[in-house]
Amino acid sequence: MRKTNSEVISCPICCDYGKQCVQTLDDKTHDPYIIFRCKNCKHKWFANSNRMPYVEAKKIVERKTPNFIKWTYKTLPKNLMVPEKLSILDVGCWDGSLLKCMPNSWELHGIEPNKNAASRAKLKNIKVFESYIENTKLESNYYDIVFMMNILEHFKNPISAIKIVSKCMKKNALFFAVTGNSESFFARLFKGKWYYFNYAEHLNYFFT
């Protein structure tokens, strides 16, 4: 049986065991961050996997709504504004700001484990599943559009989360996801001080 320490943890994307330490970040409020990069697919992830991001996420009392909310809505295909009825799911909806941009005639659902944020989303007449996606009972083949905006980096196993979401999507549904690019100009410029490295609940760092 394989041990479960950080020395033998496989890549959360391709499951390969070949990896190298590419970053060590010291923080007075957290344990040292050890970031691995997969030798096979080049994905980066936070090695100290015993610290669950959900615990960190629950501690958050306030966080500003990202500026990409309005941008996301504007980039939706224009023909999506025509249907009178669509079912929308926002995984990690926070306070419901993105869903609130949608037409009132649409069925708006969100998943948000943070009680403070979920309560604010409910005030916007949004149906919120106050739980983690792994524990949320979602109807199969139900949603026309699913959002995962700045949420994939939170999952210990992002592939598993996407598989759960895919089961609740209709055949021709649209899937929108946004996350940080660990090979971007700003990531290379700021290195250990890059925005995405400085949230304790972030476990994965994608690139394009």
8 Å CB contact between 177 and 120: no
Eight-state DSSP code of residue 83: -
Sign of CA dihedral 21, 22, 27, 30: negative
Scan for tokens 């983690």, then name that residue.
Answer: 132
- Residue by residue, pLDDT tens for the chain (208 residues) are 334 444 557 899 999 988 888 776 655 445 566 888 999 999 998 876 554 544 445 555 555 555 566 666 666 666 665 567 899 999 999 999 999 988 888 999 999 999 999 999 999 999 999 999 999 999 999 999 999 998 999 898 999 999 999 999 999 999 999 899 999 999 889 887 888 876 777 889 999 7
8 Å CB contact between 22 and 35: yes
Torsion angle of C-alpha atoms 201, 182, 186, 54, degrees rounded to 10: -10
Structural tokens at position 199: 């949230």
The secondary element (H helix, E strand) that includes residue 162 is helix 158-167
Ranges assigned E (strand) in 39-185: 44-46, 87-91, 107-111, 127-129, 143-149, 169-178
In the chain, the domains with their CATH numbers are 68-178 (3.40.50.150)
Coil vs helix vs strand at 70: helix
The distance in angstroms from the start CA to the end CA of the chain is 34
Structural tokens at position 78: 């224009």
Measuring CA to CA, which residue among 111, 135, 131 is closest to residue 121?
111
